[in-house]
A and B are shown apart, each in its own frame.
Chain A
Amino acid sequence: MSFGLDIFESGGDLTYSTSDVTWNQVDFFQVNAGGSASNSYPSISGRSVLTAQFWINGPPANRKAIAHSITVSGTNVSVSGGSEDAYVMVLMK
């Protein structure tokens, strides 16, 4: 390579390099049923942002389980409106 970063393991095999792509974890937090959150992350400014939520308690089949709404505006990530406990993951690259 003429520029960039190569990281090798002790055996000499390439582990990671600037030809790789990843999603970096900016935050990982829990939002409870009926709860909300609003966090600011300066590090996501100008970057692609991806969010995901995981059910903590498996959604039941005998009532409506509403997922949280997650919005990204500038460097702010807001979560609200869900009827279930969930983990929220914020990723950027």
Chain B
Amino acid sequence: MSYGFLALNDNNEVLVSSDTRNLHFLGKYTTPASTVYSTNTHGGFRHWKYTVTSSRVPVVFMYMPTTEYYAVVRTTTGSASNTYDIEVIRSGTSSTTPDVYVFADPRASTATDNYGLVVYKDDGTAAFDSRLRPLAVTGGVVVTHPSNPKGSISSSLDCKNCNSSNSAAGSVFAPDQFNTYAVSGQPSKPMFFFASLAQAQREVYHSCNEWECDGISVKGNCVGVEREYKWESFYWTFYRGGISWDSGNVKAGWVSAAFGCRWTYQKDSAFIGIGTGGDSGSGGEWPYTNETINLQNNAVIIGDASRYD
């Protein structure tokens, strides 16, 4: 650079530059504004919305108080001006919520102190302001989620009309796969930036048939009135990628974010082999695909939450 300000850290990395903007602390949120959805089946699922105040798109870090899987899944403008809705999901069944630490570039804040160091960009707006508690990171890792949320799916669910309970289906689909990344030297209260991209859906298909003959069955053929029934059920679960922090390891695993079942029913009637009509029905939501997508590298940035408490 030929003009401006540049401070490098001890690793010769950029610490402050008038060409870029540091992220600065905006606030900490310990309670969600609302619970979007919650279920205890399929490994458990919690979906919360935090409403944060910011005039700039916020960058969210999570303090994850349990070893379950967490992820930020949505960042969108809120209903009130200068607010954003941040949606966070978590696996498991506990009621514990993550603390959300919000950062943004310095234009989102106004310092009340008049003591410190401010670095400006060439357009006159702040690039760095020491009064606004700039972000310091303690580590990071790039993670990829395993291609399968569950190692193997073995199902004996009911073929008829999706009759199996959510609890029974949840036992079939509860995710159990993860990749582990050791990250040493992290603080006792780490906070994590992780915007989830990976998605997967898995489905199991069950069908069954029944045949009734009111007359005499001769070599498999009905002499009289016969009815043939066919049932199909497609049980499915939709997963999203999450991360957990467990004894110095970041784990990239899966959260069951939605589930459902689609069923069809068909009855064909006949008299001595001649069709006399039938009946059919269907219901439930279709699974849309049975694959894993967005398995690209996902950045995880780690900081010390206690520095911003």
Interface residues of chain A, those whose CB is within 8 Å of chain B, are 4-5, 7, 9-10, 15-16, 18-26, 28, 43, 47-48, 50-59, 61-67, 69, 87, 89, 92-93
Once the chains bind, are A22 and B74 in contact (CB under 8 Å)?
A: no
Once the chains bind, are B130 and A16 in contact (CB under 8 Å)?
A: yes
Complex CA–CA separation, A4 to B286 (angstroms): 61
User: A16-B136, A20-B136, A21-B136 are contacts. A93–B14 as well, Cβ < 8 Å?
Assistant: yes
Complex CA–CA separation, A69 to B297 (angstroms): 10
Complex CA–CA separation, A26 to B138 (angstroms): 20
Check if B133 is an interface residue, CB within 8 A of chain A. Answer: yes
Once the chains bind, are B20 and A43 in contact (CB under 8 Å)?
A: yes
Q: Mark B81-97, 1 if CB is under 8 A from A, else 0.
A: 00000010000000000
Contacts of A53 in B (CB 8 A): 195, 197
Once the chains bind, are A9 and B14 in contact (CB under 8 Å)?
A: no
Partner of B9, one of A19, A64, A66: A19
A-B contact pairs, 29 of them (CB 8 A): A7-B130, A9-B131, A16-B16, A18-B8, A20-B9, A21-B9, A21-B13, A21-B137, A22-B9, A22-B22, A22-B136, A23-B135, A23-B137, A43-B17, A51-B299, A52-B193, A54-B57, A54-B74, A58-B73, A58-B76, A59-B199, A61-B258, A62-B285, A62-B288, A67-B293, A67-B294, A89-B59, A92-B14, A93-B13
Once the chains bind, are A5 and B7 in contact (CB under 8 Å)?
A: yes
Q: Which residue of A lies closest to B301 (CB)?
A: A23
Q: Which residue of A lies closest to B142 (CB)?
A: A50
Once the chains bind, are A9 and B130 in contact (CB under 8 Å)?
A: yes
Once the chains bind, are A25 and B20 in contact (CB under 8 Å)?
A: yes
CB of B105 to closest CB in A, whole Å: 6
CB of A16 to closest CB in B, whole Å: 6
New contact pairs (9) apart from A50-B301, A67-B293, CB-CB < 8 Å: A5-B7, A5-B16, A7-B116, A20-B136, A43-B20, A55-B197, A58-B73, A62-B285, A67-B197
